[in-house]
Chains A and B, each alone.
Chain A
Amino acid sequence: MAERLIEANNLGMRYPTGRLALQSASLAVSAGEFAVILGANGSGKSTMLRIIACITKPSDGHVLVGGQDITGLTGRRLANARMALGMVFQNANLVKRRSVIANVVCGTLGRHRNMMTSLGMLPAEEFPFGMRCLERVGLTKFAYQRASTLSGGQAQRASIARALAQRPKALLADEPIASLDPEASEEVMRLLRRLAKDEGMAVLAVLHQPELARRYADRLLGLRQGVIAFADAPDCITDGEIDSLYQGFAGT
C-alpha cells in the first residue's frame, strides 16, 4: 500500500454553541490518490477540510501529515508542517494586478522569509521553478499577462500552480469548481486527477458535484450530519447512497 500522506483519526468538532459539526470522522489519503468528500450544506465537509488544513482546531482527534501529528503544533512549527499541504480555494484568489508568474512565485514565499521578500520582492531564483509549475497546469504562455486577464478556469489553474510552487505533498481543495462553468470544471478536475496519478500527490477535494466526483475520484466519502456515511471507490457506491446525503435538503 502507498504511503499515507493525510490521515485523520476520529475527528470531532463541537462549536461553542454546542452544535456537533463532526463526529469521530476518520479518513486517509495516500500518495497518488484523488479522494472527494461529498455532502449537503452543513454536513461538516468544509469543517473537516479546514481541520485537516489546520485552519480550525478540532475538539477531538488528530491529523497526521506524512506521519507527523500536526494537531498540537503552533507558530513556526505549524507553519512548516502546513507547507506540505497546498490549498486551493473556491475562488482563485489571485492578486489580479500582478502577472500570472508573480502570483505563482508567491507560493514559494514561505521558504524565503527574509528582508527582501518582506518588502515586496520576489525570490528571483524561484522563477524557473514557477515556470515549471505553470507548465504543469498548461498556462506557460500566459506567464507574463496580468492575472486579471485570465478566464475563470485559467485563474483556478494558476492558483493550483501557486499551490504547487509551495512544493506540497498533498493538495486540499475546497469546492474548487463551485464558481466555474462546466467546461472549466472538467479541466480543473482532469488536472487534479493528473496531479495525483502522474505526480503521486495526495489530493483531497470537497465537492458539490456528485457526477463529476464519480467520474474523476478514486474514492468518495459521504458526510451526513457530521458522520461519515460511506467511504469507498465510486463503483461500489450506488446513486441511492449519494442521493441519501442530500435528502431532507432537496425540498428546501
Chain B
Amino acid sequence: MNSETAIADTSGAKPAAPRYDGLRKAAIAVVLILVLVQAMYVVQARPQDLITGVHGMADIISRSLPPDFGGFSDQIWPALQTVDIAIFGTFFAIFLALPLAWLGAHNTTPSRVTYHLARSLIAICRAVPDLVWALLFVTAVGLGPFAGALALTVHSIGMLGRLLAEVIEDMDMGPMEALRSTGAGQLQVFSHAVVPSVLPSLMGIALYRLDDNIRSSLVLGFVGAGGIGFQLLSAMNLFDYPTVSLLLIMTFVIVIGAERMSAALRKRVA
C-alpha cells in the first residue's frame, strides 16, 4: 500500500468522539469533594468556634494598638540580626552548593560514586527542615543567631545544590570540551568554563533563596536563633502586645522589602 491509498483510506473516517466525557468529569468532581471532606474532618474544622471566638481576637488587637513605636530603637539590632542570618546562610550555601552541584551533575561528575554521594548529601540537606537544623545547631553552638545562620546554610545547600546541578546539566558542553582539549585541569575547566556559564542562573537562584531565607530566619527566632523571631516570642510570652504589633509591622516591611529588592535584582542579572 502506498501513501496515496493510505490517505484515501482514512479520508472518510471521523475522529472518534470521546464517549465517557461527562462521566469522567463527574467522577473527578466526586473525588475532589471526597478529598476535601476528609481534610476538613482530619483538621477538625469547626467554623462555629471561629465565629464565637472572634471577640478574643478583637480583644488582642485592641490591646496591641497603638504599636509601641517608642521601643523601635531596641528592635533595630534584632532586625539586623534577622537579615544578616539570611545573608550569611545564603552566601555560604552558594560556596558549598557550587562544588556539590558540580559533583552531582551527571555531565561533570568524575564518577558514579561521587554523583550519588553528592546527590544524597544535597537531598539530606533539603529533606531535613531548617527548624530541625536550627535545633541541632543550637545544641552545638548554643542559643543565638549563629545557630540560625548555620541552619539556613545547610538547608539552603539542599535547594541551591539541586537547582545548580540542573543548570549545569543543561549547559552547553562545548566550552568544557574545548578547555579540556587545551590541557586545562579539572578545576580550571570548572572555574573557567562552568562557573562563568552558570553565573546568571546562579545569581538569580541565590537572590530568590535570599528572599526565602529572610522569611525562614524570622521563624528560626522562635527556636532560639535570635533576631526578630526571638523578640516576637518573648513579647508574646510577656503579653506585651504593643511590642508584638510593632514587631509584626517591622516583619512586614522587611519581608516585602526583601521580596521587592530580590525581584528587582533578579531582573537585572537575567
A interface with B by C-beta (< 8 Å): 53, 55, 79-80, 82-83, 86-87, 89, 91-98, 106-111, 113, 117-120, 122, 159, 162-163, 165-166
How far is A119 from B112 in the complex, measured between Cα atoms in Å? Answer: 25
B interface with A by C-beta (< 8 Å): 172, 174-175, 177-179, 181-185, 187-188, 191-193, 195-197, 199-200
Q: How far is the CB of A1 from chain B (nearest CB, A)?
A: 29
Query: Is the CB–CB distance between B199 and A95 below 8 Å?
Result: no
How far is A89 from B106 in the complex, measured between Cα atoms in Å? Answer: 23
Chain A residues within 8 Å of B178, by CB = 87, 89, 93-94, 159, 162
How far is A157 from B199 in the complex, measured between Cα atoms in Å? Answer: 25
Query: Is the CB–CB distance between A91 and B196 below 8 Å?
Result: no
How far is A93 from B49 in the complex, measured between Cα atoms in Å? Answer: 66
Q: How far is the CB of B189 from chain A (nearest CB, A)?
A: 9
Query: Is the CB–CB distance between B188 and A113 below 8 Å?
Result: yes
Q: Counting chain B CB atoms within 10 Å of each CB, which of A80, A87, A93, A113 scores highest? A: A93
Q: How far is the CB of B141 from chain A (nearest CB, A)?
A: 29
Q: A91-B174, A93-B175, A97-B199 are in contact. Are A107 and B182 (CB under 8 A)?
A: yes
How far is A121 from B182 in the complex, measured between Cα atoms in Å? Answer: 17
Query: Is the CB–CB distance between B184 and A93 below 8 Å?
Result: no
How far is A98 from B175 in the complex, measured between Cα atoms in Å? Answer: 11
Q: How far is the CB of A134 from chain B (nearest CB, A)?
A: 16
Query: Is the CB–CB distance between B197 and A106 below 8 Å?
Result: no
Q: A93-B175, A118-B187, A118-B191 are in contact. Are A109 and B196 (CB under 8 A)?
A: no
How far is A111 from B172 in the complex, measured between Cα atoms in Å? Answer: 25
Query: Is the CB–CB distance between A82 and B191 below 8 Å?
Result: no
Chain A residues within 8 Å of B195, by CB = 120
**Residue in chain A with minimal CB distance to B184:** A109
Query: Is the CB–CB distance between B183 and A166 below 8 Å?
Result: yes
How far is A74 from B187 in the complex, measured between Cα atoms in Å? Answer: 19
Query: Is the CB–CB distance between B175 and A94 below 8 Å?
Result: yes
Chain B residues within 8 Å of A113, by CB = 185, 188
Q: A82-B183, A97-B197, A97-B199 are in contact. Are A109 and B188 (CB under 8 A)?
A: yes
Q: How far is the CB of B174 from chain A (nearest CB, A)?
A: 3
Q: How far is the CB of A93 from chain B (nearest CB, A)?
A: 3
How far is A53 from B182 in the complex, measured between Cα atoms in Å? Answer: 11
Query: Is the CB–CB distance between B191 and A110 below 8 Å?
Result: no
Q: A95-B193, A118-B188 are in contact. Are A89 and B182 (CB under 8 A)?
A: no
Q: Counting chain A CB atoms within 10 Å of each CB, which of B185, B187, B192, B199 scores highest? A: B192
Chain B residues within 8 Å of A109, by CB = 179, 182-185, 188, 192
Query: Is the CB–CB distance between B192 and A89 below 8 Å?
Result: no
Query: Is the CB–CB distance between B175 and A95 below 8 Å?
Result: yes
B182 contact from A94, A119, A166, Cβ within 8 A:
A166
Q: How far is the CB of A118 from chain B (nearest CB, A)?
A: 4
Query: Is the CB–CB distance between A110 and B175 below 8 Å?
Result: no
How far is A79 from B192 in the complex, measured between Cα atoms in Å? Answer: 18
How far is A27 from B160 in the complex, measured between Cα atoms in Å? Answer: 50
Q: Counting chain A CB atoms within 10 Å of each CB, which of B178, B181, B191, B195 scores highest? A: B181
Query: Is the CB–CB distance between B192 and A120 below 8 Å?
Result: yes
**Residue in chain B with minimal CB distance to A97:** B196
| Minimum-distance CB pairs A-B, first 3 | A110-B183, A93-B174, A120-B191
Q: How far is the CB of A22 from chain B (nearest CB, A)?
A: 21
